[in-house]
Structure 1
Amino acid sequence: MEPSCVRQNLIPGTTKLFSDFLYNFDRVSGFYPHAPFDFDSVHAVARHLNYPASRRCALVDALRQQNNAQEALEKLSRPETIAVVTGQQVGLFSGPAYTIFKALTAVRIARELDQQGIPAVPIFWLATEDHDLAEVDHAWVFDHEGTPRKIAVTNTVVNGGPVGDVQFNEMPLRELRNALGDLPFADDVMVRVARAYRPGFTFGAAFRNLLQDTLQTCGLLYLDPLAPPVRQIAAPLLADTVQRLPELLDALRGRNTELRDAGYHQQVHIEDDSSLLFLLADGKRIPLRWNGTQLAARDRSFRPAELAASPELLSPNALLRPVMQDYLFPTVIYVGGPAETAYMAQSQVL
């Protein structure tokens, strides 16, 4: 097999924003603090990163409950270690191949930074908070004849809650085995998948188990943001967001105007009643709507001070999530795709 690389701007559907980010960064430099692939910037950020020791200690303790990679955990506990972060939705059977490529890219970059004298640990953000089950309840595979085949879970209940908490009682393992046929490594794949996707497991746990098994020699750490210790670390950020919501929404509207005037799209539109938050209640993830003085979720209303006092009830939207990520981690590099890059053009003002 001869590998080849296709320029991103030759792929149909590539946005102007992402194309310019990769190939004409000077055109979008006002929307991003650093150029991609600029290791001089990486070194500068790593040297001046202000990350509290108490938060690092709490983060390592939280990660220890989700990971067995002792060497990576010990390394992250040191004050000079930075994080190379990536992540993805917790899709069936690890989701698209893109997921694995992102994880391996984070691993490779962390190793390159190590070689350059910057201690780095790769971390994978498990997007368990997302509530769109239809995006993760299936996987596309090439079967033994080279034909794309969709394999889906059909016995899950859609209740609007975080997909990471959705349990399944039966997995389409037979369909996967039939699709793989006599492909090389089919038996090994089935052993790993069956080991990870067991009845009673959640989408989040099974996804993490499969990635940990597949990439076990890579030193990759995984974080589930729904875990109570993680939510406790993020509580001050979420409480502050609620209190500063009018200011933050004004900043986002201003950034959206700047993007539009420059000829770029806005990945997330800010409506009059938009907020940056969801409410976690009764097993559901419910959008919070802002009316200028209060936040509302269906038939319930809250004053900002009420929610600021109970940040464990809050979940970030797509624009606040990168901010929460960089609050939790000593992030210096993020490995993302086109949509995430567009989010960050907006969330940079938060």
Structure 2
Amino acid sequence: MEVDCIPFKDTGYFSKLICDYLDQREDLGPFFNRFPELENFRDQIKEKEANYPETNRAILVNALTAQYNGFEVSESTANHIQQLADKKTFTVVTGHQLNLFTGPLYFLYKIISTINLTKQLKERYKEYEFVPIYWMATEDHDFDEINYFNFKGQKVQWTKEASGAVGRFDTKKLDDVFETFSASLGNTGFANELKSLFKKAYLGHSNLADATRYLANELFGAYGLVIVDGDDAALKKLLVPFAKQDIFENLPFKKVSESIDNLARVSSDYTIQVNPREINYFYLQDGLRERIIEKDGVFEVNNTEIRFSQQDLQQELDAHPERFSPNVIARPLYQEVILPNLCYIGGGGELAYWLELKSYFEAMNIAFPCLLLRNSALIMSKKQAKKIENLDLKITDLFLGQHSFINKKIREISNIDIDFSPQKQLLEEQFLNLYQLAEETDKTFLGAVKAQEVKQKKGLDALEKRLLQAQKRKLKDHVIRMTDMQNELFPNQSLQERQLNFSELYLELGPGLIPALMKSLSPLSNSFTLLKTT
């Protein structure tokens, strides 16, 4: 693939908070630990080495060995699991929901960013080992977010009655989804490979967690990816002391609330991604994942008749840690407690809520990881790139909203200048004189002058809009071809990676897709990647 890139902030698809973070805005310093640059990982390693209990390693290795029981494990993954027992081994982590057949394309970008960073770290710090981790969000309970993927503009959807943690969902009725998807694929060689992959993952495993592990393992096992399921009693036992501070002392609620207030002081333009609850844990059983709420000293499981006194809940937590599920605030801490982790790789929304958590980690005495924005990419075929060239389009213009994109291009190719900015500026200068005249004669006329200025500006805007519409009609064919191209690369006027499933690209590139992406995506590039297939 041919590789080019543009700054994230030039795409218009990333929040001000994330763009400021990437620019390492000075007053955001209190909200992150070390910026993810290779030279900064030396101190991150030393901090995590001192902060991570060596006894946790044996527990982690035993849990992972058990989780992989019954799965074919690559030599690289098996080595990585065993290396985690050594105090010189550290991890890089990404996490994602259990979306059907990987869901959107950026699932691949997350994992590839993670694997590639471990390679770069190994080249720089040869005395250490680095393991790429995919954390499966098996305890999420929003089935509607994960029960489909898009294929050629159509939604392939799994319909079933579901409640509780998604990783425990049985895979019944996925044979219907397979038949629908299979019919859409056709019978080319690469199509048959996709059919086999879907069938072995979802029809060959009894629950969604195992199906997702199989799928991710098939796609990335050769690169040594280690897949972690947090829905594990042995691992959750390590979380118990921290869960008690959350449930009985509300420490995360206090610390994260303070951080949110402090972020708002840095900039009122920052959108808060998540808000903490007084208790950031769910009660978890088969078919049940409901919030724990405290009312007058009694701990209730929301929407159930389950009640605990404080003493009984403490005993339940000690005896059955697997029944307690961290929410979006507590889950990052859980991850960092059980893993010797250096860096978390996520999308813009994820990093936005991680930036709320540093003071909470400090209060819990857990090392805060580096935060790295995952790779983002726009992939275009050679044919699409040629069309863009023939239409004389700039790639950066394709990132504009469609209305702005069309208007900008119409102005560029029009044989008349449809930009009334000079006229508007001249009008403003003329009205300055009128304001001055009203001020000197009768101030009560200032409102009338303002009304006249607004009226005339609106008239210019309306005329400009009508002329643009007229030019669009004259250049209708060009506009259609432009918008068709933008719609191809930005389906539903959104980033390609948020809409496409990897299967569409696999039909074209086959097994070469992931190696090509591995070669083309650089995790520390700090830019949006443009890829052209060759």
TM over 0.5: yes
Q: Return the alpha-carbon distance in structure 1 between the equivalents of residues 94 and 142 of structure 2.
A: 20
Alpha-carbon shift at residue 286 of structure 1 (Å)? 0.2
Structure 1 residue 309 corresponds to structure 2 residue 308? no
* Aligned residue in 2 for 1:23: 23
How far has the Cα of 1:253 moved from its partner?
Answer: 1.6
For 2:221, what is the secondary structure of its paired residue?
Answer: coil
Note closer, same or farther for the CA distance 1:308–1:343 as it changes in structure 2 (3 Å cut).
farther
Aligned position for 1:235: 240
1:44 is the counterpart of 2:4:
no
Rg comparison, structure with higher value: 2
Match of 1:83 in 2: 91
Q: 2:299 is matched with which residue?
A: 295
Q: Does 1:187 align with 2:196?
A: no
Aligned to 1:8: 8
Equivalent position of 1:330 in the other structure: 340
Measured after TM superposition, the shift of residue 132 of structure 1 is: 0.2
- In structure 2, relative to structure 1, the CA distance for the partners of 1:260 and 1:149 (3 Å cut) is same
* 8 Å contact kept, 1:91–1:135: yes
Task: Identify the range of structure 1 (291-300 vs 260-269) with the bigger mean alpha-carbon deviation.
Answer: 291-300
Is the CA contact 1:59–1:233 (under 8 Å) kept in the aligned structure 2?
no
RMSD: 2.1
Q: Specify the SS of the correspondent of 2:333.
A: helix
The letter of the residue matching 1:229 is A
Task: Flag as ranges the 4+ runs of structure 1 deviating above 6 A.
Answer: none
SS at structure 2 position matched to 1:213: helix
Please tell me the residue identity of whatever aligns with 2:100. Answer: L
| C-alpha distance in structure 1 between counterparts of 2:343 and 2:326, whole Å | 20
Q: Matched residues in 1 for 2:4 and 2:299: separation? A: 50
Question: Which of 194, 199, 208 is the matching residue for 1:203?
Answer: 208
Aligned match for 1:149, one of 154, 158, 170: 154
Q: 1:104 aligns to what SS in structure 2?
A: helix
> Is residue 240–residue 308 contact of structure 1 (8 Å, CA) maintained in 2?
no
Alpha carbons 2:34, 2:44 under 8 Å: kept? no
CA–CA distance in 1 between the matches of 2:130 and 2:237? 24
Distance 1:26 1:163, change over 3 A: same
* Corresponding position of 1:248: 252
Q: Which amino acid aligns with 2:293?
A: R
1:280 maps to 2:290: no
Q: Residue 242 of structure 1 contacts residue 304 of structure 1 at CA under 8 Å; is this kept in 2?
A: no
Deviations 1:18-41 (Å, cap 9, x if unpaired)? 121123442422211121x32222
**2:64 — aligned with what?**
63
Task: Show CA shifts across 1:41-99 (max 9, x none).
Answer: 21111123221121111001101112333211121111110111111001101222111
Flag the 1:14–1:302 CA change in 2: closer, same or farther, 3 A: farther
Give the match's secondary structure for 2:329. Answer: coil
What corresponds to 2:82 in structure 1?
Answer: 74
**Counterparts in 2 of 1:254 and 1:169: CA distance versus 1, 3 Å:** same
Q: How far, CA to CA, are the matches of 1:270 and 1:86 in structure 2?
A: 22
Distance 1:300 1:170, change over 3 A: closer
Residue 158 of structure 1 aligns with which residue?
A: 162
More deviation, 66-75/189-198: 66-75
Matched residue pairs, number?
Answer: 339
Distance 1:63 1:266, change over 3 A: same
SS in 2 for 1:151: strand
TM-score, normalised by the number of residues in structure 1: 0.90
**Cα–Cα, structure 1 residues 3 and 177, in superposed 2: closer, same or farther, change >3 Å?**
farther
Q: Secondary structure at the match of 1:86?
A: strand
Contact 1:238–1:308 (Cα < 8 Å) also in 2:
no
| Deviation at residue 292 of structure 1 after TM alignment | 7.0
Paired letter, 1:44 = D
1:42, 1:135 → 2: CA distance?
A: 35
1:297-326 deviation line (CA, Å, top 9, x unaligned) = 234443444333323221111011111100
C-alpha separation in 2, matches of 1:141 and 1:122: 29
Matches of 1:339 and 1:294, distance apart in 2: 34
2:65 corresponds to which letter in structure 1? R
Deviates more, 1:16-25 or 1:73-82: 16-25
Using the TM superposition, give the Cα deviation of residue 137 of structure 1 relative to its aligned residue in structure 2, in angstroms: 0.6
What TM-score, normalized by structure 2, do the two folds share?
0.60
Partners of 1:98 and 1:293 in 2: CA distance: 44
Structure 2 CA distance, aligned partners of 1:291 and 1:200? 41
Q: Distance in 2 between matches of 1:113 and 1:253?
A: 34
Measure the CA separation in 1 of the matches of 2:65 and 2:33: 32
What is aligned with 1:214? Answer: 219
Segments of structure 1 that go 5 or more residues without pairing to the other structure are: 143-147
Find the aligned partners of 1:228 and 1:236 in 2 and give their Cα distance.
14
Stretch of structure 1 that moved more, 220-229 or 9-18: 9-18
Change (3 A) 1:18 1:77: same
Relative to structure 2, which stretch is displaced further, 96-105 or 9-18? Answer: 9-18
Do the aligned partners of residues 139 and 303 (structure 1) sit closer, same or farther apart at CA in structure 2, a change above 3 Å counting? same
